[in-house]
């Protein structure tokens, strides 16, 4: 069974609570007066060192807070000055400002490159005869999508939408159309991806995914 507490301050307090009783009659508990005197000195020394340590920790915490406050002020003010240096370099069109200030110039943006083609193009005919298209892809770096359509009997594709979304509802399918094909391609500026594989939809059909035709609903 543990007699002394686990913590250092707990052990100091444990001996402090018993000193008077032990010193009253050392012989009654098997100790000597000299041992009690030595123990009293060690308890006092341990308590004093503990108080010094607490004071040092409090001072360190206070010093750390002061250090953080001072560094925050420096950083905020310094950032403002750096921004002024950069603004001066830009307005004066003098790249030497960065050299004289020993401040790195702004990095040249890396071109995003051509966009990736859309994936998993899906089309379905709604109950009111419109065509809803959906596909996968990204809209990052100002990517947008072009939707191309080809009606039954047509030989060329017609651009019907340029949108910043990954879906489109075609509500302008001519009445009487028996089938329609769609392709989707991504664009970023003037750069365009390859078009998706065409999907073909017929009136009164189920959802179509990928290349090929839809089967008529039974």
Give the pLDDT score at 210.
Answer: 53
Does 128 share its domain with 208? yes
Give the pLDDT score at 100.
Answer: 94
Whether the per-residue pLDDT at 16 is higher than 90: the answer is yes
In a domain, 103, yes or no: no
In a domain, 110, yes or no: no
In a domain, 107, yes or no: no
pLDDT tens-digit readout, 79-94: 999 999 999 999 999 9
Distances from the Cα of 90 to the Cα of 78, 80, 86, 109, angstroms: 18, 15, 6, 16
SS3 call for 151: strand
Distances from the Cα of 62 to the Cα of 74, 174, 216, angstroms: 18, 77, 78
How does residue 214 score in pLDDT terms, banded at 50, 70 and 90? very low
Does 78 share its domain with 138? no
Q: At what angle do helices 8-24 and 33-92 cross, to 10 degrees?
A: 160
pLDDT tens-digit readout, 149-197: 999 889 999 999 999 999 999 998 888 888 999 999 999 988 899 999 9
In a domain, 28, yes or no: yes
Does 18 share its domain with 79? yes
Angle, CA of 178, 147 and 176, to the nearest 5°: 15
pLDDT above 70 covers what percent of the chain? 93
In a domain, 124, yes or no: yes
| Mean model confidence pLDDT for the chain | 89
Does 21 share its domain with 79? yes
How does residue 11 score in pLDDT terms, banded at 50, 70 and 90? very high
Give the pLDDT score at 107.
Answer: 86
The whole-model pTM stands at 0.48
Does 85 share its domain with 128? no
Among 149, 160, 146, 165, smallest CA distance to 199 is for: 149
How does residue 207 score in pLDDT terms, banded at 50, 70 and 90? very low
Give the pLDDT score at 125.
Answer: 87
In a domain, 106, yes or no: no
Does 128 share its domain with 174? yes
Give the pLDDT score at 216.
Answer: 34
Q: How many domains does the chain have?
A: 2
Dist. CA 54–CA 114, nearest whole Å: 63
In a domain, 101, yes or no: no
Query: What CATH number corresponds to the domain at position 155?
Result: 2.60.40.10
Rg value, the chain, Cα: 40
> Which of 37, 68, 89 is where one domain is finished?
89
> Which of 72, 89, 106 is where one domain is finished?
89
User: Whole domain around residue 33: which residue ranges?
Assistant: 8-89
pLDDT tens-digit readout, 54-67: 999 999 999 999 99
In a domain, 197, yes or no: yes
């Amino acid at each position: 069974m543990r007699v002394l507490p686990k913590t250092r301050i707990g052990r100091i307090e444990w001996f402090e609570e018993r000193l008077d009783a032990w010193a009253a009659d050392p012989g009654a508990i098997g100790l000597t007066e000299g041992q009690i005197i030595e123990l009293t000195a060690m308890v006092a020394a341990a308590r004093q060192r503990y108080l010094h340590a607490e004071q040092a920790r409090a001072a360190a915490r206070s010093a750390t807070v002061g250090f953080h406050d001072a560094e925050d002020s420096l950083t905020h003010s310094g950032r403002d000055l750096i921004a002024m240096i950069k603004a001066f370099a830009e307005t004066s069109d003098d790249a030497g400002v960065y050299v004289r200030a020993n401040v790195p110039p702004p990095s040249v943006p890396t071109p995003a490159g051509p966009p990736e083609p859309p994936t998993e193009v899906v089309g379905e005919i709604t109950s009111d005869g419109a065509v809803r298209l959906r596909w996968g892809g990204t809209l990052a770096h100002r990517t947008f999508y072009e939707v191309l359509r080809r009606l039954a009997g047509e030989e060329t594709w017609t651009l019907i939408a340029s949108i910043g979304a990954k879906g489109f509802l075609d509500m302008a399918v001519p009445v009487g159309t028996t089938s329609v094909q769609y392709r989707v391609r991504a664009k970023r500026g003037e750069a365009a991806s390859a078009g998706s594989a065409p999907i073909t939809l017929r009136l009164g059909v189920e959802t179509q995914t990928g290349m090929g035709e839809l089967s008529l609903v039974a």
